[in-house]
Amino acid sequence: MITLGTVNISEKTKSLMQDALNSGIISQGEYVKEFEDRLANFLGVKHVIAMANGTLADACAVAALKVGDKKGRNEVIVPALTFIAQINSLYYNHLKPVFVDIGYDFQIDVKKIEEKINEKTLAIMPVHLLGRPAEMEKILLLAKKHNLFVVEDACEALGSKYKNQSCGTIGDIGTFSFYISHSVTTGEGGAAVTNNDELADNLRSLRNHGRKSDKFEEKFIFPHIGFSAKMNALEAAVGLGAIDELPRYVKARHDNMVKLNETLGHNYFFDGDNDYIVPHAYPVLIKSKEQRNKLLIDFPSKFGVECRQIFSCIPTQSGAYSFFGEKSSYPIAEDVGDRGMYVPCHQNLKEEDIAKIVDALKYIKNEGFLAE
Report the pLDDT value the prediction gives residue 209, as an integer from 0 to 100: 96
Q: Do domains 11-243 and 247-366 have the same CATH topology?
A: no
**Res 16: pLDDT:** 84
Name the superfamily (CATH) of residues 247-366: Aspartate Aminotransferase, domain 1 (3.90.1150.10)
- Given this model, what pLDDT does residue 327 score? 83
What is the widest separation between alpha-carbon atoms in the chain? Answer: 69
CA distance 31 to 49: 13
Which one, of 169, 172, 168, 166, lies nearest residue 147 by Cα?
172
- What is the rounded CA–CA span in Å between residue 62 and residue 65? 5
pLDDT of res. 326 = 84
Fold of the domain built from segment(s) 11-243:
Aspartate Aminotransferase; domain 2 (3.40.640)
* Gyration radius from the chain CA atoms: 20
Using an 8 Å Cβ cutoff, are 286 and 339 in contact? yes
Residues of the chain falling short of pLDDT 50: none
- Residues whose CB is less than 8 angstroms from the CB of residue 213 and which lie 6 or more positions away in sequence, other chains included: 205, 219
- Predicted pLDDT of residue 105: 96
Per-residue model confidence as pLDDT tens digits over 68-107: 898 999 999 999 999 999 999 999 999 999 999 999 999 9
pLDDT digits (tens, 9 = 90+) for 1-56: 999 999 888 888 889 888 888 887 777 789 999 999 999 999 999 999 999 999 99
Q: What pLDDT score was predicted for residue 34?
A: 96
- Cβ(66)–Cβ(122) under 8 Å? yes
Q: Whole-model pTM?
A: 0.96
Domain ranges across the chain? 11-243, 247-366
